[in-house]
Amino acid sequence: MGPADAETCVTAPCCCCRGSAWLCGTVQRGGGRLAPRRGQAALGTAELVAEQQQQPKQQKQKKQQQKQQGGGKKGEARAITPKSEDFSRWYLDVVRECQLADYGPVRGTMVIRPYGYAIWEGVQSHLDRAFKETGHQNAYFPQLIPLSFLQKEADHVEGFAPELALVTKGGGKELEEPLVVRPTSETIVNHMFAQWVQSYRDLPLLINQWANVHRWEMRTRPFVRTLEFLWQEGHTAHATAQEAEEETIRMLRVYEDFAVNVAAMPVVAGRKSRIESFAGANCTYTIEAMMGDRRALQARRRAPWGRQEGARLAGTSHNLGDNFARAFGTRYLDEGGQLQYVHQSSWGVSTRMVGGIIMTHGDDAGLRLPPRLAPTQVVIVPILKKDVDGEAVMAAVQRLEAALRGAGVRVQVDASTDRTPGWKFNQYEMKGVPVRVEVGPRDVEQGTCVTARRDVAGKEGKQFGVPLEPAAFVQHVTALLEDIQAALLRQARDFRDANIVDVASYEELQAAVAEGKWARGPWAGSDEQERQVKEETSATLRCFPFDQPQHSGTCFLTGQPATEVAIFSKAY
């Protein structure tokens, strides 16, 4: 049996030294990392033993360091690059240090670790409920799709081939026809819909699927762009074009409601331009969110087999018209006995949303999670001292925990004895837990405790003298959670609004985009001119917002009359 380091380099490039390096960052940058779990995969047995044996000494040094730095609070956050210094590295540091995800052994794949997965479960549970409330049912379609299904569409859309993973061998034999590992399911869904839909009585057909999908990409980033990702894909069929359009808008509004009221992301809902629309769609609608570096989180169109640069759905809804129905013969007999093509919609949200939440709310200290999504909404840290009997403190903590749990609050108690309270404070701050409760012996004597809110740093965010009496305590904490939820949304909205520039000329757009801001102005340019803007500025037309501001009516580029305002920006 080889040492541990021999185990991690099976696949080249190895997951711990592949350069782009959100896993190896710390190793390269050396010391200063005090977060609880280390990316030590590159160390051999001897080093492991040596490092472990040094721990007591290191802990002592660390303690001294903490003391010097006022409880060590700042000293412990060093593992995360400041956001303002390098946003991209800050993001990768947060993902790694908060144990949200790790690289998988195959380049571009991601292991979603429990804390990251718990955020995704929050997204799932909210959306799944909303889908069911709007009449949708979950189903599951096979992942392997005959390549010929995609080739059927070759006349209509660009080839998806550059991004496909192909199964060519199964059961020890070469397959007669290669199978595509699902990049999206329009083709197989329509293959089945064509069998299930016979009559107008079978419509509407409202289906959703939670699944994994693969798109072969080279430039990846955890959650934002990975070779494999998790998502939901809604697929519906309707009797009329109008019903399909209504459904497309309805589901975009479901996404908007989730983004704003659950994820606290102040998205802009709108329509995509023609060249940014899903290639198989008549029209694509989108929710666009501004990240902490002012880029838009791209929710751009994606032909299921288009040649466009890879992109992940953060929240788009497509009116497919009867395009797929015509390709797959998805027809029904109407009340008059005539065969008609169905009209369809499809819509999706993926694990990219987790990346969006990180990049919308995070700060220099790490994650900040909106309470409605946070896996842990409240952490209770008992302050136990060596010489003082902790029984009264623990009894109080257990009463508070039970009271919160009874009120439906997701609460965690960290009573571990191998870490100091200061270490724990930093840890849960980094992990974005909205509310921390501290209970020490003196607090218990006074019948009170201390709460600290994650969104307001330092003493300002603390409240002393919070009553231990369960009803009053629960009321205080739940109000605090609601307040934090609202504050995160408000902050993100203020940030967004402060970074949207109304432009009246191309020069103004160029200046705004160069500053990293969103540019908003009346637009009547052609597809070609839209592409030109992208080439010259790297900014894409994000959307024509549903809520149109007042405007001059003159296209900022062409000077022609414009009926609509569009938003341009750089995007993920």
Query: Binding to its own copies (CB under 8 A): which residues in 87-116?
Result: 102, 104-106, 109-114
Site of tokens 């080093």: 47
Shortest Cβ 181–its own copies spacing (Å)? 6
Letters for 287-326 (x = contact with its own copies by CB under 8 A, - = none) are ---------------------------------------x
Give the chain's length. Answer: 572
Residue 526 binds its own copies (CB under 8 A) = no
Bridge partner list, 152:
none
Q: Which of 195, 242, 475, 505 binds its own copies (CB under 8 A)?
A: 195
Residue nearer to its own copies on the CB measure, 17 or 457: 17
State the minimum distance, in angstroms, from the CB of residue 4 to its own copies: 5
Closer CB to its own copies, 90 or 131, in the complex? 131
- The total of other beta-carbon atoms located within 10 Å of residue 17's CB is 16
- What burial class does residue 203 get, using C-beta atoms within 10 Å of its C-beta: 0-12 exposed, 13-18 middle, 19+ buried? buried
Cα end-to-end span (Å), the chain: 43
CB-nearer residue toward its own copies: 4 or 487: 4
Site for its own copies contains 154 (CB under 8 A): no
Cβ partners under 8 Å of residue 467, min gap 6: 447, 448, 473, 476
Between residues 24 and 449, which has the closer beta carbon with respect to its own copies? 24
- Is residue 145 at the binding interface for its own copies, with CB under 8 A as the rule? yes
Task: Report the nearest approach of its own copies to the CB of residue 188 (Å).
Answer: 7
Q: How far apart are CA 529 and CA 548, in angstroms?
A: 22
Sort strands 448-453 and 462-467 into parallel, antiparallel or unpaired: antiparallel
Query: Exactly one of 64, 69, 88, 198 binds its own copies (CB under 8 A); which one?
Result: 198
Q: Restricting to residues 354-413, name those near its own copies by CB under 8 A.
A: none
From 206-214, 238-246, 510-518, 560-568, give the range in contact with its own copies by CB under 8 A: 206-214
For residue 339, the minimal CB distance to its own copies (Å) is 6
Contact 128, 378 (CB under 8 A): no
Binding its own copies by CB under 8 A: which of 77, 95, 157, 207? 207
Q: Rounded to whole angstroms, what are the CA distances from 538 to 52, 510, 516, 541?
A: 48, 10, 10, 10
Residue located via tokens 């010097």: 68
Nearer to its own copies, 117 or 523 (CB): 117
| Cβ-contact 295, 572 below 8 angstroms | yes
Spatial neighbors of 479 by CB under 8 A, at least 6 apart, are none
**Side-chain half-sphere exposure of 513, counting CA atoms within 13 A:** 26
Contact 31, 38 (CB under 8 A): no
233 forms beta bridges with 209, 348
Candidates 141, 399, 493, 511; binder of its own copies (CB under 8 A) is 141
Out of 140, 395, 549, 552, the only residue in the binding site for its own copies (CB under 8 A) is: 140
Interacting positions 208-237 with its own copies (CB under 8 A) = 211-212, 214, 216-218, 227-228, 230
Contact predicate 76/426, CB 8 Å: yes
- Dist CA 478 CA 482 (whole Å): 6
Q: With respect to its own copies, which residue has the nearer C-beta, 118 or 394?
A: 118
Residue 54 found at the interface with its own copies (CB under 8 A): no
Least distance to its own copies, CB of residue 200, Å: 10
> Binding segment for its own copies among 48-56, 90-98, 285-293, 390-398 (CB under 8 A)?
48-56
- Interaction residues for its own copies, span 165-184 (CB under 8 A): 165-172, 177-179, 181
Both tokens of residue 343? 């009209």
Enter the DSSP assignment of 550: P
Pick 83 or 215: Cβ nearer its own copies? 215
Residue ranges in 233-272 that form contacts with its own copies under rule CB under 8 A:
none
Sequence-distant (6+) residues with CB within 8 A of 46 are: 3
Contact criterion met (CB below 8 Å) for 382 and 431: no
CB of 56 to its own copies, least distance (A): 11
Angstrom distance (rounded) from CA 409 to CA 562: 50
Work out whether 333 is an interface residue with its own copies (CB under 8 A): yes
Shortest distance (Å) from residue 545 CB to its own copies: 34
Q: How far is the CB of 133 from its own copies (least distance, A)?
A: 13
Member of 92, 192, 379, 466 binding its own copies (CB under 8 A): 192
Question: Which of residues 64, 67, 135, 139 is near its own copies by CB under 8 A?
Answer: 139
**Core vs surface per residue 353-389: b (16+ CB within 10 A) or e:** bbbbbbbbbbbebbbbbbbbbbbbbbbbbbbbeeeee
Rule CB under 8 A: choose which of 20, 40, 412, 420 binds its own copies.
40
Q: Is 535 one of the binding residues for its own copies (CB under 8 A)?
A: no
Token pair of 89 as six digits? 């590295």
44 binds its own copies (CB under 8 A): no
Residue numbers 407-436 binding its own copies by CB under 8 A: 418
Question: Based on C-alpha coordinates, what's the Rg of the chain?
Answer: 26
Segment interacting with its own copies, rule: CB under 8 A, options 132-140, 242-250, 342-350, 442-450: 132-140
Q: Are strands 378-382 and 435-439 parallel, antiparallel or unpaired?
A: parallel
Interface with its own copies by CB under 8 A: which range of 140-148, 246-254, 401-409, 485-493? 140-148
Q: Does 16 bind its own copies (CB under 8 A)?
A: yes
Residue recorded with tokens 């946003």: 87
Q: Which of 24, 80, 95, 188 is the binder for its own copies (CB under 8 A)?
A: 188
- Residue span binding its own copies (CB under 8 A) among the ranges 3-11, 463-471, 516-524, 546-554: 3-11
Question: How far apart (Å, rounded) are the C-alpha atoms in residues 78 and 69?
Answer: 12
Name the segment binding its own copies (CB under 8 A); options: 80-88, 147-155, 525-533, 544-552. Answer: 147-155
Helix (H, G, I), strand (E, B) or coil at 161: helix
- Using CA atoms, how far apart are residues 499 and 542, in angstroms rounded to an integer? 15
149 near its own copies, rule: CB under 8 A: yes
